[in-house]
Amino acid sequence: MGKKLRKLRKIRLHHEGTATLVIGFVALAAFNALMFFFLYNLCPTCCYIVLGICVVVYLVVLNFFQCPVRRFAGDDTQRIVVAPADGKVVVVEEVEEDEYFHDRRIMVSIFMSLFNVHANWVPVEGIVRKVVHHNGRFKAAWLPKASTENERSTVVITTPEGTDILVRQIAGAMARRIVTYLEEGEECYIDEHMGFIKFGSRVDVYLPLGTKINVTLGQKTTGNETIIANL
C-alpha cells in the first residue's frame, strides 16, 4: 500500500493542460446536464451511453496531460542519451540531416499516441546551441516526411565532450501546439523538461555515426528513463 501511495504522489498534471482540462470538464458537464434534462424521459439508456463515452474521453485527455515526476536512475550521465518521450520507436536508421549538420546521422524517432504522456525530457546534458521553431503542415506524425514538413521545433545541444545532438519535436495530425522551454546559451540537464506537444506527435533524435543504439523498432520507451543510446 505504501508503494502505491508513493507512486501516486509522483503523478501530477502538466500546467500546459490546465485550460484544456477545465474548459473540457465544464463543456462536457453542461452538455450532459442538458441532455439528461431534455432527453432522459425519451431515452435514458442513450443518455447513460453518451455520459460513459464522455467520461472515457475525458480520462484519456487527463492521462495525456500527466506529468510524472521522474529521476534518471543511473549515477553517471556521461555519454548517455535518454528517451526524450514516452512512446514507441518507429525509426532507427541512418539519414541525411539537412537543417543543421548537413551530413549523415543516426535518427531515432519516438512516436507518441494519444495514450502517452506528452511531456518531453532533455535527452543529454550540455549547452543549448540552437532553438528554432518551424511552421509547417500537420500530417500524421509517423510518416517519414513529417520530420521536415510538419510544424516542428529543433533543439541542438552540445554535450560536455563536445558532441552535438539534435532533438526535433514534431506536431502530428491532431497536434496544434509545440512548446519548447529550452533557450539558446543555457545549460540543460537530464531530468529537466524540454517541452510539451499537445496531442499525437513525435520526437526525433539525431546522433553521430558510430553511436551505440540501445533500442529497436517497435520498442516502447519511457521518457527520462529508457537509455536509447551511448555516445
pLDDT at 4 over 60: no
Higher per-residue pLDDT: 49 or 18: 49
- How confident is the model at residue 171, as a pLDDT? 82
Higher per-residue pLDDT: 62 or 128: 128
Q: What is the mean pLDDT of residues 79-96?
A: 94
Alpha-carbon dihedral of residues 112, 149, 156, 167, nearest 10 degrees?
A: 20
Burial 34-53 (b: 16+ CB within 10 A, else e): ebeeeeeeeeeeebeebeee
In sequence order, the β-bridge partners of residue 202 are: 111, 170
pLDDT digits (tens, 9 = 90+) for 41-80: 989 999 999 999 999 988 877 777 777 778 888 778 899 9
Query: If pLDDT is split at 50, 70 and 90, which confidence band does 116 have?
Result: confident
Higher per-residue pLDDT: 36 or 17: 36
The single-letter code of the amino acid at 199 is: F
- How confident is the model at residue 175, as a pLDDT? 54
> Scanning the structure block, which residue is given the C-alpha cell 545532438?
165
Alpha-carbon dihedral of residues 189, 195, 200, 203, nearest 10 degrees?
A: -40
Q: What is the mean pLDDT of residues 161-179?
A: 83
pLDDT at 129 over 60: yes
Average pLDDT of the chain, as a whole number:
85
Q: What is the mean pLDDT of residues 202-210?
A: 95
Q: How many CB atoms lie within 10 A of CB 21?
A: 16
pLDDT at 3 over 80: no
Which residue among the candidates 109, 147, 153, 201 is catalytic per the annotation?
Answer: 201
* Biggest CA pair distance of the chain: 70
What contacts 20, CB < 8 A, 6 or more positions away? 61, 65, 198
Decide if 109 is catalytic: no
For the chain, what percent of residues have pLDDT higher than 90? 56
- Of the candidate ranges 79-88, 100-109, 111-120, 136-145, the one whose mean pLDDT is the lowest: 136-145
pLDDT at 2 over 60: no
- Of the candidate ranges 145-149, 184-188, 199-203, the one whose mean pLDDT is the lowest: 145-149
